[in-house]
Structure 1
Amino acid sequence: MLLTTTNSVEGKQIVEYKEIVYGEVVAGANFIRDFFASFTDIFGGRSRSYESKLTSARQDAINEMVTNAQRAGANAVVGVEVNYTSIGSGSKSMFMIVASGTAVVVR
Protein backbone atom coordinates (compact mmCIF):
# COMPACT_ATOMS: atom_id res chain seq x y z
CA MET A 1 0.00 0.00 0.00
CA LEU A 2 1.42 3.35 -1.04
CA LEU A 3 0.99 6.13 1.55
CA THR A 4 1.77 9.78 0.93
CA THR A 5 1.06 13.08 2.61
CA THR A 6 0.69 14.74 -0.79
CA ASN A 7 -2.53 14.86 -2.82
CA SER A 8 -0.99 13.13 -5.82
CA VAL A 9 1.57 10.43 -6.53
CA GLU A 10 4.54 11.42 -8.67
CA GLY A 11 4.62 9.31 -11.83
CA LYS A 12 1.23 7.71 -11.16
CA GLN A 13 -2.28 8.62 -12.14
CA ILE A 14 -5.18 8.49 -9.70
CA VAL A 15 -7.87 6.61 -11.62
CA GLU A 16 -10.44 6.27 -8.84
CA TYR A 17 -11.20 7.93 -5.52
CA LYS A 18 -12.70 5.43 -3.07
CA GLU A 19 -13.41 7.12 0.27
CA ILE A 20 -11.87 8.89 3.24
CA VAL A 21 -10.33 6.28 5.54
CA TYR A 22 -9.39 6.51 9.21
CA GLY A 23 -7.42 4.62 11.80
CA GLU A 24 -8.05 5.53 15.42
CA VAL A 25 -6.27 4.52 18.60
CA VAL A 26 -7.05 5.64 22.14
CA ALA A 27 -4.31 4.68 24.57
CA GLY A 28 -4.07 5.15 28.30
CA ALA A 29 -1.04 6.61 29.99
CA ASN A 30 -0.76 4.42 33.06
CA PHE A 31 0.18 5.57 36.54
CA ILE A 32 3.76 4.20 36.49
CA ARG A 33 4.54 5.90 33.17
CA ASP A 34 3.02 9.15 34.50
CA PHE A 35 5.14 8.89 37.66
CA PHE A 36 8.43 8.48 35.80
CA ALA A 37 7.48 11.12 33.23
CA SER A 38 7.06 13.60 36.09
CA PHE A 39 10.80 13.22 36.81
CA THR A 40 11.52 14.01 33.17
CA ASP A 41 9.40 17.16 33.51
CA ILE A 42 11.43 18.24 36.56
CA PHE A 43 14.95 17.29 35.43
CA GLY A 44 14.51 17.66 31.68
CA GLY A 45 15.23 15.19 28.92
CA ARG A 46 13.13 12.90 26.83
CA SER A 47 10.46 10.53 28.11
CA ARG A 48 11.40 7.29 26.34
CA SER A 49 8.41 5.41 27.76
CA TYR A 50 5.94 7.93 26.31
CA GLU A 51 7.84 8.09 23.02
CA SER A 52 7.69 4.31 22.70
CA LYS A 53 3.96 4.27 23.45
CA LEU A 54 3.30 7.07 20.93
CA THR A 55 5.33 5.33 18.22
CA SER A 56 3.45 2.08 18.75
CA ALA A 57 0.02 3.76 18.83
CA ARG A 58 0.81 5.84 15.72
CA GLN A 59 1.79 2.70 13.80
CA ASP A 60 -1.40 0.96 14.97
CA ALA A 61 -3.50 3.89 13.71
CA ILE A 62 -1.72 3.86 10.34
CA ASN A 63 -2.14 0.08 10.05
CA GLU A 64 -5.87 0.38 10.76
CA MET A 65 -6.18 3.11 8.11
CA VAL A 66 -4.37 0.88 5.58
CA THR A 67 -6.68 -2.04 6.41
CA ASN A 68 -9.72 0.17 5.82
CA ALA A 69 -8.26 1.38 2.50
CA GLN A 70 -7.67 -2.21 1.38
CA ARG A 71 -11.27 -3.09 2.28
CA ALA A 72 -12.38 -0.19 0.07
CA GLY A 73 -10.39 -1.63 -2.84
CA ALA A 74 -7.65 1.00 -2.85
CA ASN A 75 -3.96 0.51 -3.54
CA ALA A 76 -2.86 3.90 -2.16
CA VAL A 77 -3.81 6.54 0.39
CA VAL A 78 -3.11 10.19 -0.42
CA GLY A 79 -3.28 13.24 1.83
CA VAL A 80 -2.28 11.21 4.89
CA GLU A 81 -2.39 13.08 8.21
CA VAL A 82 -1.69 11.89 11.73
CA ASN A 83 -3.19 13.91 14.59
CA TYR A 84 -2.66 13.58 18.34
CA THR A 85 -5.04 14.68 21.10
CA SER A 86 -4.75 14.42 24.87
CA ILE A 87 -7.88 13.34 26.71
CA GLY A 88 -8.37 13.84 30.44
CA SER A 89 -5.73 14.81 33.00
CA GLY A 90 -3.60 13.34 35.74
CA SER A 91 -3.69 9.60 36.35
CA LYS A 92 -6.79 9.34 34.15
CA SER A 93 -5.06 10.83 31.11
CA MET A 94 -5.27 9.16 27.73
CA PHE A 95 -4.28 10.14 24.26
CA MET A 96 -5.93 9.63 20.91
CA ILE A 97 -4.13 9.22 17.61
CA VAL A 98 -6.06 9.48 14.34
CA ALA A 99 -4.55 8.68 10.95
CA SER A 100 -6.64 9.74 7.97
CA GLY A 101 -6.39 10.07 4.22
CA THR A 102 -8.16 9.47 0.93
CA ALA A 103 -8.17 5.90 -0.36
CA VAL A 104 -7.49 5.83 -4.10
CA VAL A 105 -6.57 3.52 -6.96
CA VAL A 106 -3.41 4.53 -8.82
CA ARG A 107 -1.82 3.21 -12.02
Structure 2
Amino acid sequence: MDALIFKAAIFVILFAVGWGFGRHAERKHLKELEAQEKRLAYIRLDSSRFKTSDDFGQLVSSNVVISHDYFKYVIANIQNFFGERLTSYESVVERARREAVVRLKLEAEKLGAAQIMGLRLSTTELGMQGGMVEVFAYGTAIRSP
Protein backbone atom coordinates (compact mmCIF):
# COMPACT_ATOMS: atom_id res chain seq x y z
CA MET A 1 0.00 0.00 0.00
CA ASP A 2 2.87 2.38 0.80
CA ALA A 3 4.42 1.73 -2.62
CA LEU A 4 1.13 2.65 -4.32
CA ILE A 5 0.86 5.90 -2.37
CA PHE A 6 4.51 6.69 -3.17
CA LYS A 7 3.95 6.08 -6.90
CA ALA A 8 0.81 8.21 -6.87
CA ALA A 9 2.64 11.02 -5.08
CA ILE A 10 5.53 10.88 -7.57
CA PHE A 11 3.04 11.00 -10.45
CA VAL A 12 1.23 14.01 -8.98
CA ILE A 13 4.51 15.85 -8.34
CA LEU A 14 5.88 15.17 -11.82
CA PHE A 15 2.55 16.07 -13.38
CA ALA A 16 2.47 19.38 -11.47
CA VAL A 17 6.07 20.19 -12.44
CA GLY A 18 5.33 19.41 -16.10
CA TRP A 19 2.18 21.53 -15.98
CA GLY A 20 4.12 24.42 -14.41
CA PHE A 21 6.92 24.32 -17.00
CA GLY A 22 4.43 23.97 -19.87
CA ARG A 23 2.40 26.90 -18.60
CA HIS A 24 5.55 29.01 -18.20
CA ALA A 25 6.73 28.20 -21.74
CA GLU A 26 3.30 28.98 -23.19
CA ARG A 27 3.08 32.34 -21.40
CA LYS A 28 6.60 33.25 -22.51
CA HIS A 29 5.71 32.41 -26.12
CA LEU A 30 2.52 34.48 -25.93
CA LYS A 31 4.46 37.50 -24.59
CA GLU A 32 7.01 37.19 -27.40
CA LEU A 33 4.21 36.92 -29.97
CA GLU A 34 2.50 40.00 -28.59
CA ALA A 35 5.72 42.02 -28.79
CA GLN A 36 6.36 40.91 -32.39
CA GLU A 37 2.74 41.57 -33.40
CA LYS A 38 3.00 45.13 -32.06
CA ARG A 39 6.29 45.73 -33.87
CA LEU A 40 4.93 44.37 -37.17
CA ALA A 41 1.50 46.05 -36.91
CA TYR A 42 2.40 48.45 -39.73
CA ILE A 43 2.18 45.55 -42.22
CA ARG A 44 -1.49 45.35 -43.16
CA LEU A 45 -3.19 42.03 -43.81
CA ASP A 46 -5.90 41.68 -46.43
CA SER A 47 -7.68 38.47 -47.34
CA SER A 48 -9.07 39.82 -50.64
CA ARG A 49 -8.02 37.81 -53.62
CA PHE A 50 -8.06 40.40 -56.36
CA LYS A 51 -6.61 43.87 -56.60
CA THR A 52 -5.55 45.78 -59.64
CA SER A 53 -2.40 47.71 -58.97
CA ASP A 54 0.94 48.61 -60.41
CA ASP A 55 2.63 47.72 -57.14
CA PHE A 56 5.21 44.95 -57.00
CA GLY A 57 3.95 41.68 -55.47
CA GLN A 58 5.80 38.57 -54.39
CA LEU A 59 4.56 35.36 -52.84
CA VAL A 60 5.55 34.96 -49.18
CA SER A 61 4.89 31.94 -47.01
CA SER A 62 5.59 30.62 -43.55
CA ASN A 63 4.69 27.62 -41.49
CA VAL A 64 4.88 26.56 -37.88
CA VAL A 65 4.30 23.31 -36.01
CA ILE A 66 3.33 23.50 -32.35
CA SER A 67 2.73 20.56 -30.07
CA HIS A 68 0.70 20.34 -26.91
CA ASP A 69 2.22 19.43 -23.57
CA TYR A 70 1.33 16.33 -21.58
CA PHE A 71 -1.06 18.26 -19.33
CA LYS A 72 -3.09 19.52 -22.31
CA TYR A 73 -3.14 15.99 -23.69
CA VAL A 74 -4.67 14.59 -20.49
CA ILE A 75 -7.21 17.42 -20.21
CA ALA A 76 -8.18 17.05 -23.89
CA ASN A 77 -8.77 13.33 -23.45
CA ILE A 78 -11.06 14.01 -20.48
CA GLN A 79 -12.93 16.71 -22.41
CA ASN A 80 -13.22 14.43 -25.43
CA PHE A 81 -14.61 11.60 -23.28
CA PHE A 82 -17.44 13.87 -22.12
CA GLY A 83 -17.99 15.36 -25.58
CA GLU A 84 -16.94 18.87 -24.61
CA ARG A 85 -15.07 21.50 -26.62
CA LEU A 86 -11.33 20.83 -26.63
CA THR A 87 -10.40 24.21 -25.17
CA SER A 88 -6.91 23.02 -24.25
CA TYR A 89 -6.18 22.42 -27.95
CA GLU A 90 -7.78 25.72 -29.00
CA SER A 91 -4.94 27.60 -27.32
CA VAL A 92 -2.37 25.51 -29.22
CA VAL A 93 -4.08 26.26 -32.55
CA GLU A 94 -4.35 29.96 -31.71
CA ARG A 95 -0.65 30.17 -30.83
CA ALA A 96 0.29 28.37 -34.05
CA ARG A 97 -1.88 30.69 -36.14
CA ARG A 98 -0.43 33.82 -34.54
CA GLU A 99 3.14 32.54 -34.92
CA ALA A 100 2.58 31.71 -38.61
CA VAL A 101 1.24 35.22 -39.29
CA VAL A 102 4.16 36.82 -37.45
CA ARG A 103 6.62 34.76 -39.49
CA LEU A 104 4.78 35.71 -42.67
CA LYS A 105 5.05 39.39 -41.77
CA LEU A 106 8.76 38.94 -41.07
CA GLU A 107 9.20 37.54 -44.59
CA ALA A 108 7.25 40.49 -46.03
CA GLU A 109 9.34 42.91 -43.98
CA LYS A 110 12.52 41.53 -45.58
CA LEU A 111 11.07 42.53 -48.96
CA GLY A 112 10.16 46.01 -47.75
CA ALA A 113 6.44 45.31 -48.08
CA ALA A 114 3.79 47.23 -46.18
CA GLN A 115 0.87 44.94 -47.03
CA ILE A 116 0.06 41.28 -47.55
CA MET A 117 -2.80 40.58 -49.96
CA GLY A 118 -4.71 37.35 -50.36
CA LEU A 119 -3.76 36.03 -46.92
CA ARG A 120 -4.61 32.36 -46.54
CA LEU A 121 -4.10 30.04 -43.59
CA SER A 122 -4.07 26.27 -43.86
CA THR A 123 -4.21 24.13 -40.73
CA THR A 124 -3.19 20.49 -40.54
CA GLU A 125 -3.41 18.11 -37.61
CA LEU A 126 -0.28 16.02 -37.18
CA GLY A 127 0.32 12.99 -35.00
CA MET A 128 -1.80 9.97 -34.18
CA GLN A 129 -3.72 11.60 -31.31
CA GLY A 130 -3.78 15.06 -32.85
CA GLY A 131 -0.97 16.22 -30.62
CA MET A 132 0.53 18.68 -33.06
CA VAL A 133 -0.86 21.32 -35.34
CA GLU A 134 0.77 22.85 -38.40
CA VAL A 135 -0.34 26.21 -39.73
CA PHE A 136 0.82 27.25 -43.19
CA ALA A 137 0.32 30.92 -44.04
CA TYR A 138 0.79 32.49 -47.45
CA GLY A 139 -0.07 35.61 -49.36
CA THR A 140 1.31 38.24 -51.71
CA ALA A 141 3.61 40.83 -50.19
CA ILE A 142 2.93 44.20 -51.82
CA ARG A 143 5.43 47.02 -52.01
CA SER A 144 5.35 50.18 -54.04
CA PRO A 145 7.75 50.35 -57.00
Q: Please report how far the alpha carbon of residue 77 of structure 1 lies from its aligned counterpart in structure 2 after TM superposition.
A: 0.6
Matched, 1:56 2:98: no
- CA RMSD between the two structures: 2.1
Q: 2:92·2:133 contact (CA, 8 Å) conserved in 1?
A: no
**Aligned residue in 1 for 2:106:** 67
Q: 1:24·1:96 contact (CA, 8 Å) conserved in 2?
A: yes
Which protein has greater RCO, CA pairs closer than 8 Å, 6+ apart?
A: 1
Matched, 1:82 2:121: yes
Q: Hey, what's the Cα distance between the residues in 1 that align with 2:140 and 2:64?
A: 18
Provide TM-score, normalisation by structure 2.
0.63
Where 1:90 maps in the other structure, the secondary structure is coil
Q: Please report how far the alpha carbon of residue 8 of structure 1 lies from its aligned counterpart in structure 2 after TM superposition.
A: 4.1
Where 1:26 maps in the other structure, the secondary structure is strand
Query: Comparing both structures, which one devotes a greater share of its residues to strand?
Result: 1
Q: Hey, what's the Cα distance between the residues in 2 that align with 1:26 and 1:8?
A: 29
Q: Hey, what's the Cα distance between the residues in 2 that align with 1:61 and 1:32?
A: 24
Q: Please report how far the alpha carbon of residue 29 of structure 1 lies from its aligned counterpart in structure 2 after TM superposition.
A: 2.2
Q: 2:45·2:119 contact (CA, 8 Å) conserved in 1?
A: yes
Q: Where in structure 1 are there 5+ consecutive unaligned residues?
A: none
**Aligned residue in 2 for 1:28:** 67
Q: Where in structure 2 are there 5+ consecutive unaligned residues?
A: 1-42
Query: Comparing both structures, which one devotes a greater share of its residues to helix?
Result: 2
**Aligned residue in 2 for 1:42:** 81
Matched residue type, 1:26: V
Q: 2:141 aligns with which of 99, 103, 107?
A: 103
Q: Please report how far the alpha carbon of residue 44 of structure 1 lies from its aligned counterpart in structure 2 after TM superposition.
A: 2.0
How many residues align? The count is 103
Identity of aligned residues (%): 25
Task: State which structure, 1 or 2, has the greater radius of gyration over its C-alpha atoms.
Answer: 2
